[in-house]
Amino acid sequence: MAETSVPKTATTHVYRHIIDFPVEDQILGELVSLDTRVLDIGTGATGRSALKARERGAQVTSIEINTEAIAEFGTTPDNKGIGLAAADLLQLPFADRSFDVVQVALHGFDYILGCQDRLQGLSEMRRVVRPGGYVVFNAFNPIGLSLAPSGFKPAMLKTRLKYLATAGFMKNTMIDYNGLELHQAPVRVITNQAALAGLNRESVRNLSGSTDHPAKVALLSKAPYYVFRRPS
């Protein structure tokens, strides 16, 4: 979380990492099956989350605000069968109730920093998902970033101590190791924002998928995954 003078943004940083967390497969296994209509937001250059949904037989439409990233993924043979478009989460170019599941790629929603923009993004996702459909994303949790046991391992200890010493847990944003400024908020704040947009929380889970106990996740998960549902 080293500070940089000019943090990167969603439009200037091409996301090429391939990171897998068990909870992603767990959630997709529950929500996605043959012909499920999935909107994948924040494809990146690797299309990792879009590919996960396609592997389960979903009809996948994938968008990315970074034109370099979407173009790079579009040149790979992996994108076969996935509808690709350069588009902004805050202005989704889709009709109401177009999808069964809307998923945001790893930390994609954290790129949106302002409260009003975050509410607009949540409202847009609610708009394009069908009644009874699901919205899925993960988000940095400052309480978990402060208390998660993994942060006290030797490899992470220096970063954890700096985060605590600079009172990073009291801020609305953080700078990650890529130099990206990303939003962070406690579980209750994310849940309340989603409720304002008309989404009900179905579950919140840690990255290993080993617990969905709300209190444990709120205290100890650095970047929990949320499953919200649009009321029927």
CATH number at residue 68: 3.40.50.150
pLDDT class of 148 with cuts at 50, 70, 90: very high
Q: Is the pLDDT of residue 169 over 70?
A: yes
- Global pTM reads 0.93
Q: Is the pLDDT of residue 178 over 80?
A: no
Residues ≥6 apart with Cβ < 8 Å to 82: 40, 47, 50, 51, 54, 60, 61, 62
Q: Is the pLDDT of residue 8 over 80?
A: no
Whether 14 is covered by a domain: the verdict is: no
pLDDT for the residue numbered 5: 57
The pLDDT tens digits of the residues spanning 53-105 come to: 999 999 999 999 999 999 999 999 989 999 999 999 999 999 999 999 999 99
Whether 118 is covered by a domain: the verdict is: yes
Whether 64 is covered by a domain: the verdict is: yes
Q: Report in angstroms the alpha-carbon separations of 152 from 22, 163, 220.
A: 22, 12, 12
Whether 51 is covered by a domain: the verdict is: yes
Name the token pair of 228: 């919200």
Q: Which domain holds residue 122?
A: 22-140+187-212+224-229
pLDDT class of 16 with cuts at 50, 70, 90: confident
What mean pLDDT is predicted for residues 158-170? 92
Whether 169 is covered by a domain: the verdict is: no
How many domains is the chain built from?
A: 1
